[in-house]
Structure 1
Amino acid sequence: MKLLPYKNLFIGITDTLNQVFFHNKYADRELERTLKSNPKWGSKDRGFIAETVYDTVRWKRMIEASMGKDVAEDNLWEFVGTWFVLQDEKLPFWDEFKKLSPKEILKRNHAATDKNFAVRESIPQWMHDLGEKELGNQWKKEVEAMNIPAPTVLRVNTLKIDRKGLKNELRQERIDTEVLSKFPDALQLKEKTNVFRTHSFKDGFFEIQDAGSQLISPYLNVKPGMRVVDACAGAGGKTLHLAALMENKGQIYSLDIHEWKLLELKKRAKRAGAQNIQTKVIDSTKVIKKLEGTADRLLIDAPCSGLGVISRNPDAKWKLSLDFIESIQKEQEKILNDYCKMVKSGGAMVYATCSILPSENQLQVEKFLKNHPEFKLVREKQILPSQSGFDGFYMAYMEKV
């Protein structure tokens, strides 16, 4: 998107980046807050701000190398100006940009990126080292895929409408979509737009859910009438998909340690017309114990590094740490060992993450199976962003003998 030379837009950009980089806020939420507080901005203004925020967050390390210093609260204008110089845009004649030398910026950029892949692709060095260790040559392909902005994909709510019907409904609201043939309930937006304002959304005809994520609930192989537990349900994206696959028949227990997420799930379920969902906060071990040996199917969509969804959440690159990944792996192991007890004999479970690291995926499952001979691995699937063009996920389907 071409630079728009309006100072108030740059104030919005730098204020948002300040919150993301220095106050540990999430880019999507801060961007939403910025745009909501400036209702007079037009669609072009909003698009310019959103794209600039995400681009500068995504390419932070490369921009810093081109500046010759780390971004700080007092040089955010320089940071944003450097980005536009690298995009071959002519900067406005504002005092904030007077000290910027395009020649020096380009010189530093070439010197920093020519030989250093991690700088050129803008990822932390520790992350690059870990990725290479775990994935070898495949890692570089995944990093390049991380830097491609994620498309917006909708999941049709088949409790209320089919894909053809939703496509027509959205067309009437001047939103064009394309069918993703390999994903039976998916429509991809041809252009970014605010779909939350549509009648189709308010009527519960769809949810926003990446195509990769839409593969997980079907992988659980649920049937109408089953007793299903979604053990790390969060705000319920996969719970709602399960309800549609089960045609509102049977029972879904949606569990999470965060009550506020389950409250959001309830709102979404009401809009979607999903009536077979019961939410429970995991506030003690009693919740799991009460469900022990009762589930036909168990979904463990485990907390993880999120390295498969960096294209959607580029700010996560700068919030993650090696210590966090090591601690989350211990948590994954504990969740698997504790929650698997809910599966009844003859039942099955899926362990899933939005990570591409074997240490969070295949190796976790191997370790689990060694300690739990009552389970056997039936199938597993790794979705890589570089191959699918969508978010990265891992899923393993295990049956209890």
Structure 2
Amino acid sequence: MRLHRNLCFAVIDGLTLICNEGHYADKVIQQLLKRDKRWGSRDRGFVAETTYEIVRWKRLYAEIAEVKEPFSRDDLWRIFAVWATLRGIKLPDWKYFENTPVRKIKGRFDELSKIRKFKESIPDWLDNLGVAELGETAWSKEIAALNTQADVVLRVNTLKTSKETLQAKLFDLDIETEFLKGYPEALKLKERANVFTTEAFKNGEFEVQDASSQLVAAYLNVSPGMRVVDACAGAGGKTLHLASLMENKGQIIALDIYANKLHELKRRAKRNGAHNIEPRHIDSTKVIKKLHQKADRVLIDAPCSGLGVLKRNPDAKWKLEPEFLNNIKTTQQEILQQYSKMVKPGGQMVYATCSILPSENQDQVSRFLASEAGSEFSLVSDKKVLPSELGYDGFYMALLQKK
């Protein structure tokens, strides 16, 4: 591979914003990719993937380069040189790479790869937490799996098309996909491609949604005609899946505390042809009270640490802090206590997170069931989706039945 100056500069500019200024990696990369209209798909792929890779392995590379945050521009070039050297890329004769100690870099890599917090490039506190919650062996397996690049998986919108029809349409655009056993609406891309520019996407025939995330809506056992509440709907990935499972029949009330996310959901619902969704902004406790004992099904896709989705959000491990984790567990339990009241007698509820930590998952469900509000519920089943086993995002979901 030959390094091109303008592409490398784009990566360094992106890393400055992500590492030093706390910007979100996905937003930074979106902006970077608009920088030069002459860039082809390979150029854009290099910028996006290299930036994500360096963010993912930031601690390891910084340790090898012997630099500390906040990084100067020269520090970032040293980190870049480590990335390139470890991938066997010949460094060009640029001033940024003068005196790069290639042999020393490889030696330091071998040495640091024996220590998990460096090998997997994670903060000390997170490494300690993972061991405490999952044990040495399981944590080592999960964090290694979470440090691999995420596949691009589509969820076919069955309100508009079928899996076979969409696969054929994409094939005509040289985008090859494959079916995934056990995921009825999923198509996995064989190679990364920008699917957002396709007519099929603009027509709402699919959404990009990880295979594990596609399991959640199905776990709620919905059927056409039901009244369903998606209590933490956000921008509506799972809401839209519920609409297709319900064949646009019945009612889905999409709740969220963030009005801007519900605006995005409205836009996506229109594109998807999902007409049975009613967004409601939670601007007071009255919104929940009005729905007490009114819902056949309630989905609580709870706010969480996001540790199960580090594949696609590698910068999250640097933004996450122990204090946030403690606060989010309190929030999760409060949401369970309050939102469970919307389930009507005989109805069902799913509590789900994109975390792999028992303290956010089965421990929260146990706490809820032992409480006064939870005494009306029983656990039907739960499911741990581990990245090391299936290769997709880490998720947890519990199906609860109201007596």
Q: CA deviation at 1:38?
A: 1.7
Unpaired segments of 5 or more residues in structure 2?
none
Kindly indicate whether the alpha-carbon contact (under 8 Å) linking 1:155 and 1:208 is maintained by their aligned counterparts in 2: yes
Shift of residue 252 of structure 1?
A: 0.3
Q: 1:54 aligns with which of 42, 52, 66?
A: 52
Query: Pairwise CA RMSD of aligned residues?
Result: 1.0
Q: Which residue of 2 aligns with 1:118?
A: 117
Q: Per-residue deviation at 1:50?
A: 1.3
Cα offset, 1:109, TM superposition: 2.4
Mapping for residues 153-164 of structure 1, pairs under 5 Å: 153-164=153-164
| 67-76 vs 152-161, which moves further | 67-76
Q: Distance in 1 between matches of 2:351 and 2:36?
A: 42
CA distance in 1, matches of 2:109, 2:169: 47
Amino acid at match of 1:165: T
- Counterpart of 1:127 in structure 2 is 126
Q: Give the superposition deviation at 1:104.
A: 2.4
Answer yes or no: is 1:320 the counterpart of 2:326. no
Q: Is residue 241 of structure 1 aligned with residue 248 of structure 2?
A: no
Q: Distance in 1 between matches of 2:321 and 2:72?
A: 22
* 2:205 corresponding residue in structure 1: 205
**Residue type of the alignment partner of 2:124:** Q
Deviation at 1:79, TM superposition (A): 1.1
Q: Do the aligned partners of 1:65 and 1:109 also contact (CA within 8 Å) in 2?
A: no
Match of 1:70, SS state, is: coil
Counterpart in 1 of 2:388? 386
**1:355 partnered with 2:342:** no
Which of 372, 375, 379 aligns to 1:373? It is 375
Stretches of structure 1 lacking an aligned partner (at least 5 in a row)? none
Alignment match, 1:78: 78
CA–CA distance in structure 1, aligned partners of residues 211 and 40 of structure 2 = 30
**Partner residue in 2 for 1:229:** 229
Give the SS at the match of 2:375: coil
Which residue in 2 is equivalent to 1:17? 15
Q: 2:296 is aligned with what amino acid? A: D
- The answer for the alignment partner of 1:6 in structure 2 is 4
Amino acid at match of 1:142: E
2:330 is paired with a residue of what secondary structure? helix
Q: In 1, distance between residues paired with 2:279 and 2:20?
A: 35
Q: CA deviation at 1:102?
A: 1.1
Secondary structure at 1:36's aligned position in 2?
A: coil
Using the alignment, how far apart are the partners of 1:58 and 1:343 within structure 2?
A: 41
User: Shift of residue 105 of structure 1?
Assistant: 1.9
Aligned ranges 1:129-208 → 2 under 5 Å: 129-136=128-135, 137-208=137-208
**Partner-residue secondary structure (3-state), 1:32:** helix
1:210 is paired with a residue whose SS is coil
2:94 corresponds to which letter in structure 1? W
The alignment covers a number of residue pairs equal to: 398
Structure 1 CA distance, aligned partners of 2:276 and 2:47?
Answer: 41
The 1-side partners of 2:147 and 2:68 are apart by 20
- In the superposition, the TM-score normalised over structure 1's length comes to 0.97
SS in 2 for 1:288: helix
**TM-score after normalising by structure 2:** 0.97
The secondary structure found in structure 1 opposite 2:389 is helix
Amino acid across the alignment from 1:147: N
Superposed CA deviations along residues 30-77 of structure 1, whole A, max 9, x for unmatched, are 111011122211222111111111111111111112112225033111
Shift of the alpha carbon at 1:123? Answer: 1.3
Q: What is aligned with 1:42?
A: 40
Alpha-carbon separation, structure 2, partners of 1:273 and 1:89:
47
Maintained 8 Å contact 1:67/1:108: no
CA distance in 1, matches of 2:145, 2:225: 40
1:199 corresponds to which letter in structure 2? Answer: E
